[in-house]
Amino acid sequence: MASFALIVILSVIGFISAYPSPEGYSSAFNFPFVTKEQWGGREARTSTPLNHPVQFVVIHHSYIPGVCLSRDECARSMRSMQNFHMNSNGWSDIGYNFAVGGEGSVYEGRGWDAVGAHAAGYNSNSIGIVLIGDFVSNLPPAVQMQTTQELIAAGVRLGYIRPNYMLIGHRQVSATECPGTRLFNEITNWNNFVRSEHPFPFCSRECWKGSPPTDTRPITKPVPYVVIHHTAIPGACNTSSQCMQDMRSMQNYHNSMGWGDIGYHFCVGSEGVAYQGRGWNVIGIHAIQANNYSIGICLIGDWRYEAPPAVQLATTKALIKEGVRQGVLSPTYKVIGHNQVMATECPGTALYQHISTWDNFQPGTVDFTKYFDKIKKT
C-alpha cells in the first residue's frame, strides 16, 4: 500500500512539473525569462482573456525609456512603463504582452493569455512585443532582436500564435513612428513580415478567414460612385475578433442568397479596421442598379440613432481616399447613401446625416439606369 501511495505521489508530481509555472518559464524557453513578479510588476486591475492562436504579432519600441543593458535597469524600465500605462493612461496593466531588454531577456507583461492595449483594432487578435529602447536611428542590440524572434517562435510552438502569423510594425496600423525607422526596416526581413499597402488598419479576407468567392465579375474602372451602408444587424463590433466573426456571418448569409460572396466591397468596424470584402476589382451586390458603377462600403453597426465612432468614420474616409490613389475610384467620385438608390432606411439616419457633410457627397435620388443610358448616348 505504501509503495502504491508513493507511486501515485510521484506521478502527480511528474504531471505537474510537465507544465512550467511562471517561475519556471526560463527553463521552458531558450532565452532568459523574467516573470512579472520578478521585475516587481503590479497586479492587473482587470484582464480580458485572449483567444488563441492569434493572427498578428505587433512589434513596438518603447522610445522612452531608452535601451536597458542589465536586469536591474530593464526591471526599472518595466515598472516605469507599467506605472505610466496604469496611472496616466488609465489602463488596467502595462499595455504589452511582452517586452525584450537590450541584454536579451524577455520580460512578462500581460503574457500569452490576456488581451493587450498596444495597437487599436488589433489587440484582441495579436501579441504585442516591445523592444525596450529608442530605435529611430539605431538598431537594437543583436541579442535583443534574436530573443524577440525566439519569443515569437516559442509562441508558435506552444500554440499561442498561428504558424502562418502576420508580423507587422505598430506604424502599419496606427499613425505613429513606432517601432522606429531602423527597427522597422530590420523587421521587414524577418519571417512572416507583411507589407501593408494601406495607411489605416486593414484586415484581408485571409485575415478574417473568408471563404473563396464564386462571383468574381470584374468592375469597370474608374468607378464613379461610393455607396455607404450600415448593417443594422449585426450591431457594432468593437474588437477585431468580433468584427471578423461578423464578416463571416454576413458572408454566410449572402452566400445563402446565392450572391457568390459577401455583397460589400469593404466593411469598417467600430474599432477602426477596414475589412476586405470583394475588394477593389470585382462587381459587388449591395445596391441593385448601382452595383456595376459603385464601390459599396458598409459600416458595421446600427446607425439610425447615433453616428458611428470617429475612428470608424475616419477609416471609411481613408479607404475612399485610398481607392482614388489606386485609380479604382474616379477623382470626381460621388458619395451617396444606400437610401438614395433604393427604398431603404440604410445607412441609418444618423450616418446619412453625417456623410451628407462629406466632400463629394451628392444629394437626392440617383437613377443609375437613366444616368448611364444618357452617358452611352453621348
In terms of DSSP bridges, do strands 266-268 and 274-276 run parallel, antiparallel, or are they unpaired?
A: antiparallel
pLDDT at 5: 40
| Its pTM surpasses 0.85 | no
pLDDT at 27: 53
Cα-Cα-Cα-Cα dihedral sign, residues 263, 264, 268, 273? positive
pLDDT at 240: 79
Of 325, 331, 299, 298, whose CA–CA distance to 312 is shortest? 299
Of 347, 153, 322, whose CA–CA distance to 232 is shortest? 347
CA 350 – CA 29 distance, rounded (Å): 53
Contact by Cβ (8 Å): 87, 45: no
CA 81 – CA 310 distance, rounded (Å): 28
Angle value at C-alpha 54, between 51 and 55, nearest 5 degrees? 145
pLDDT at 371: 56
Assign domain 205-377 to a CATH class.
alpha beta
Concatenating the DSSP letter of every residue in 76-116 gives HHHHHHHHIIIIIS--SS-S-SEEE-TTS-EEESS-SSB--
In terms of DSSP bridges, do strands 329-337 and 223-230 run parallel, antiparallel, or are they unpaired?
A: parallel
Domains 47-196 and 205-377 agree in fold? yes
- Percent of the chain at pLDDT exceeding 70: 89
- Give residue limits of the domains in the chain: 47-196, 205-377
Q: Is the pLDDT of residue 52 over 50?
A: yes
Average pLDDT along the chain: 89
CA 190 – CA 35 distance, rounded (Å): 26
Q: Is the pLDDT of residue 137 over 50?
A: yes
Contact by Cβ (8 Å): 126, 55: yes
Of 196, 238, 308, 274, whose CA–CA distance to 48 is shortest? 238
Angle value at C-alpha 306, between 305 and 307, nearest 5 degrees? 135
Query: 47-196: which CATH topology?
Result: Lysozyme-like (3.40.80)
pLDDT at 376: 44
Average pLDDT value for residue range 54-77: 96
Contact by Cβ (8 Å): 43, 49: no
CA 316 – CA 301 distance, rounded (Å): 14
Question: Residue 108 has what DSSP assignment?
Answer: E
Total length of the chain: 378
- Name the amino acid, one letter, at 213: P
Q: Please, which pLDDT band fits residue 324 given cuts at 50, 70 and 90? A: very high
CA 263 – CA 55 distance, rounded (Å): 25
Q: Please, which pLDDT band fits residue 370 given cuts at 50, 70 and 90? A: low
Q: Please, which pLDDT band fits residue 197 given cuts at 50, 70 and 90? A: low
Average pLDDT value for residue range 255-278: 95
Side-chain-side CA neighbours of 306 within 13 Å: the count stands at 9
